[in-house]
Homo-oligomer: A and B are copies of this chain.
Amino acid sequence: MRIVLIGAGNLATQLGKALVKRSKHEVLQIYSHTVESARTLADQLQVAYTTSIDDVVKDAELYIVALKDAVLSEVIPELVKGRNKKAIFVHTAGSIPSRIWQGYACRYGVFYPLQTFSKQRDVLFSEIPIFIEAVDKTTEEQLNSFASSLLCRKVYTVNSEQRCRLHMAAVFACNFSNYLYTISERILIDSGLPFEVMYPLIDETSAKIHRLSPHLAQTGPAVRYDENVIGKHLKLLADYPEWKKLYELITKNIHHDQLRFNQDKGTRV
């Protein structure tokens, strides 16, 4: 397929690399509002770029919009206007419904890869679950075969609400976990210890839940509600009032869930 990438951020960069280096598709052009981002990605992929939505190629077969959610509703009408009526238009956002395209494009949908992307760090699309939504069956099939052409092995069809819930689940498991790592790093540095001592524990915590439901994998002072240890930690957290609040809230939640689980034992999944 002849593809235009609208966006030059983390996801667009990784998707662009996968398309150019590991697929038979042709990337015609990169669009980004920011000239530096557009040029950097276009240079990497050795394709053309533009910073003006009017100059986006008119006859591509697939337009992939990987922009910040906040600008989508502004860019979409301008993008679709005057472009190939038979083209497929997709966005890549977890929490934006597919109906954002309604009234503009005829053939549209969503191509949502569930992963955290950085420009510097390459990822294999073959390992990433892809969530597709499409306006009709033909478009859905074409998006499915597009995913297969990227070697994606896990492709799911979901509706907009499911995808929004999925995104929310990802925010907890990824963005928020990463924030807990930043707290951990700060505490270690402030204690004169390198953050790398935490790597094996972080690795094991994430590896463990492939085999064991995280509910069953839960350990630590909160599970047994060890007031002595919890009290010591809260005392040390006096210097970090925001993290203290967070410590208290999560500890309380873990403890309550554990109590509920023990009450329900045997009936709960």
Contacts and interface: CB of A to CB of B under 8 A. Distances in A.
A224 B9 CA distance: 13
A21 interface: no
A67 to B, nearest CB: 12
A202 B220 contact: no
A209 B181 contact: yes
A165, A174, A179, A221 — which one has the most chain B CB atoms within 10 A of its CB? A179
Interface string A199-210: 111111111111
Contacts of A212: 118, 120-121
A219 interface: yes
A211 B249 contact: no
A96, A201, A243 — which one has the most chain B CB atoms within 10 A of its CB? A201
A267 interface: no
Interface string A102-142: 00000000000011111011010001110000000000000
A47 interface: no
Contacts of A207: 203
Interface string A11-54: 00000000000000000000000000000000000000000000
Contacts of A257: 182
Nearest to A222: B175
Interface in A214-237: 214-215, 217-224, 226, 228-229, 232-233, 236-237
Contact of A217 (B178, B199, B210): B178
B206 A206 contact: yes
Nearest to A10: B219
A258 to B, nearest CB: 10
B236 A182 contact: no
A200 B115 contact: yes
Interface string A159-176: 000101111111111111
A59 interface: no
A266 interface: no
A79 to B, nearest CB: 19
10 contacts: A68-B224, A95-B228, A95-B233, A115-B200, A115-B201, A129-B200, A168-B233, A173-B184, A178-B209, A182-B213
